[in-house]
Chain A
Amino acid sequence: MLSLLWLIPTLPLAGFLVLALSGKYLGRRSIAVIGTSSVALSALIAILIGIDFIAAPPPGFVFRQEAWTWIAVAGFSPGIGFYLDALSLVMILVVTVISFLIHLYSTEFMSGDDGYARFFAYMNLFVGSMCILVLADNLLFLYLGWEGVGLCSYLLIGFWYRDSGNGRAARKAFIVTRVGDTAMALGVFLLFTHLGTLDIQSLMQRVTQQWPEGSELAILAAGLLLGGAVGKSAQLPLQIWLPDAMAGPTPVSALMHAATMVTAGVYLIARTHVLFSLAPPVQLAVAVIGALTLLLAGFSALAQKDIKRVLAYSTISQIGYMFLALGVGAWSAAIFHLMTHAFFKALLFLSAGVVIMTLHEEHDIFRMGGLRKKLPVAFWTFLIGSASLAALPLVTAGFYSKDLILWQTWSSQGGNPWLWAAGCGGAILTGLYIFRVVFLVFFGEARAAAPPDTRRPGLRITIPLIVLAAFSIVGGWIETPPFLGHLTLFSDFVQHALPPAQVVHDGKNDETVLELLAIAASLGSIALAYLLFLRYPAFLHGLMLIPELARIRKFWHFGWGFDRFYEFLFVRPYIWLAYADRNDVVDNIYKMAISFTLRWLQKVDRHDVIDYIYSGLAELCLFLYRALSATQSGQVRRYAAAIAAGSISIIFIGIFA
């Protein structure tokens, strides 16, 4: 069974090829079948492989499959090879299963769209690239998947390319992530030049052998890789692309936020965790970035009107949690949260998609309301997703993963109370912003401008929602805190690939107290959201009348002004330079010099000698023009003569120089 591993990325890529090459000639039905079944098959294979892997683990809990050598040049021979261990198995399961559900959902959601084949082709390519990224056994192959994911995000964000705003959002996503990708490429180059290999496992071995902890090279390499991860995972300071990425169709957002793309950065850091643990400053930076991002994005999510933008900021914030966990060395907690987050975030996006579709592309949560009765499936699934996101105790998956992160942020070696406090504050924000959406959209009176669509979502939309809702509830029960049975199935399994967090503050009582605090934060925030947004909305309106508060709200709404800041810092100067340099810097310097001299000369001498010089100059130019245009006679033999003369002079240089 394990030997079928290569099929997991290959099937979606094959689906992409078929759809891209013959999509024009296929009917909608066959497009949907091809696009979905390719991912479904690869999910099925992933599940079977997973069962096989757990039932009869391969030696060392690692399975490698070398397909062929990609290129072999002077001792540099990266392969097309797949590497399956506990970490990549979890990732591949999450990626393929959730992608399959999203594909199934899209077959109905996109059914009215003209670019049906194009959509599924891109989606398949997206999934295939992500599978390559996850399963790659060397950094170059991983980088291929990495860039493939970036390309697909560009294609899909700008899917409705007729609207120039969407194209702009796509370009923004592409360019901002490119900043991170460049850093990552540099990191890969650095690792290769110093360690002489790109194979991740041998790389990690050589890193531990050759670089002492805290050495400059390790810090540099880890920092560069972190740059890539930050760009892809939309963390501070490169988080600005993700909210705009909502321009794409809703299933794309779901796919990007849950299964592919943004989790890539978390995966990269987990994959190269050996390197990161050799660079304590970088690891601390990871944790700080995560903590700051989760707070900033949480505040921004509070001030959004667009339902998808709320979810986008919530993704940024949740990825911040994962970074926080990675930064304190709680690798398996990060991956655990990645998994549960994938479940409930996909669920939230998909049910938000139902709401948006029913209300005729309405994104503004203040024009929704009272949808609880009209859209029961969307309501219940969105509620479950929100509860999971807000870490509602005991019953939701998000609770177990988030509390594991919070606990390990406190207790582990790299953790400290400040980071824990940030995480806890983030938890309060999370409950506030997501239940704000729940209360505004599904409760209260209807505020929609147009009457909602009477069509109800069909089975192909409902089934993924229900399955994901189930996952969002039960997905956390495989890893429970000590006072709730202390199940550690997940971390036991992932432990084969990722070392457990180094716990320094151990103590059951501490843990229970902290868990209770976290529970209080979560419940309190939901209650607060209820009071503020449903029970006494007038209070909030009153607050907003204070100009300072309104200004802060606006500031949050625009994502802490990062866009404007970058606009001033990078975009404007660049555009100004481009304008200034329309001809060439050198041209401009000459132009300025000449006009200056001319003006001076005009003052000194109005006619006579100077005139001759200039008319002479003009003649010279004309002569040069004639001479140059004579070389473009169109006569082949002249060209041949020129080639011969060139070759002869080159040989001359070769002999005598």
Chain B
Amino acid sequence: MEFTFYLSGAIAVAATLMVITGLNAVHALLYLIVSLLAVAIVFYVLGAPFAAALEVIIYAGAIMVLFVFVMMMLNLGKAAAAREQDWLTPGIWAGPAVLASLLLAELGYIFAQGGTAAGAVAVTAKEVGIALFGPYLLGVELASLLLLAGLVGACHLGRHEDVHHGWDEDERHENG
């Protein structure tokens, strides 16, 4: 079982690398799904089967489908990949890589302090449910409110308006 953890962890890291370096958005999205599935397996290994299921169903399923839909609507072609190629010059990686490795070093330093085993025991969906609808009930309500707000916001932003009514016109209006 331990082996599964390290294997899926490695897959997750590799797939994520492919996501952030990929040129084609659809391919990157597929890699992202792979990464999420790998993380789901990690969850399972750690004794969180319910979280694993949610990760697959909601994250890798529902949320990623949203991305797919949007990409369909955008209809990105070969030109997009070429532009990505232009944008991703080698020099651009240096700064972020330094930042991220600093962060990793710091986090690694913290984690090196203690080492206790995790995931020896499974925490079942029942317990999660009891916790969720017991002490965390307020959080659930807030999350539902947040989802509603997101729904309303997305509806509002996604309204189809006149394309020609752009910002330039707004600006002119403000200045005039």
Contacts and interface: CB of A to CB of B under 8 A. Distances in A.
Nearest to B96: A641
Interface in A636-657: 641, 644-645, 647-648, 651-652, 655
B1 interface: no
Interface in B102-141: 102-103, 106-107, 109-110
Interface string A611-644: 0000000000000000000000000000001001
Contact of A655 (B95, B96, B99, B110): B110
Contacts of A652: 106
A638 to B, nearest CB: 10
A641 B110 CA distance: 22
Nearest to A651: B106
A154 B107 CA distance: 55
B79 to A, nearest CB: 22
A645 B99 contact: yes
Interface residues of A, number: 8
Interface string B72-109: 00000000000000000000000110010011001101
Contact of B95 (A641, A647, A648, A651): A641
B99 to A, nearest CB: 5
Interface residues of B, number: 9
A652 B110 CA distance: 10
B3 to A, nearest CB: 32
B99 A641 contact: yes
A594 to B, nearest CB: 38
B71 to A, nearest CB: 21
A655 B103 contact: no
A644 B110 CA distance: 18
A627 to B, nearest CB: 17
Given A655-B109, A655-B110, A644 B103 contact: yes
A644 B99 contact: yes
A648 B96 contact: no
Contacts of B110: 655
B109 A648 contact: no
Nearest to A645: B99
Contacts of B106: 648, 651-652, 655
Contacts of B95: 641
A528 to B, nearest CB: 72
B108 to A, nearest CB: 11
Contacts of A645: 99
A655 B96 CA distance: 22
A651 B106 CA distance: 7
Contacts of A655: 106, 109-110
A645 B98 CA distance: 10
A641 B102 CA distance: 13
B113 to A, nearest CB: 10
Interface in A374-419: none
A652 B107 CA distance: 10
A650 to B, nearest CB: 10
A486 B122 CA distance: 84
Interface string A12-52: 00000000000000000000000000000000000000000
Contacts of B102: 648
A647 B96 CA distance: 14
B87 to A, nearest CB: 11
A645 B106 CA distance: 12
Contacts of A647: 103
A655 B103 CA distance: 12
A645 B100 CA distance: 9
A648 B103 CA distance: 6
Interface string B5-30: 00000000000000000000000000
Contacts of A651: 103, 106-107
Given A641-B95, A648-B106, A651-B103, 15 more contacts: A641-B96, A641-B99, A644-B99, A644-B103, A645-B99, A647-B103, A648-B99, A648-B102, A648-B103, A651-B106, A651-B107, A652-B106, A655-B106, A655-B109, A655-B110
Interface of B: 95-96, 99, 102-103, 106-107, 109-110
7 contacts: A641-B99, A645-B99, A647-B103, A648-B99, A648-B102, A651-B106, A652-B106
Q: Which 6 pairs across A and B sit closest by C-beta, in order of nearness?
A: A651-B106, A648-B102, A648-B103, A644-B99, A652-B106, A655-B106
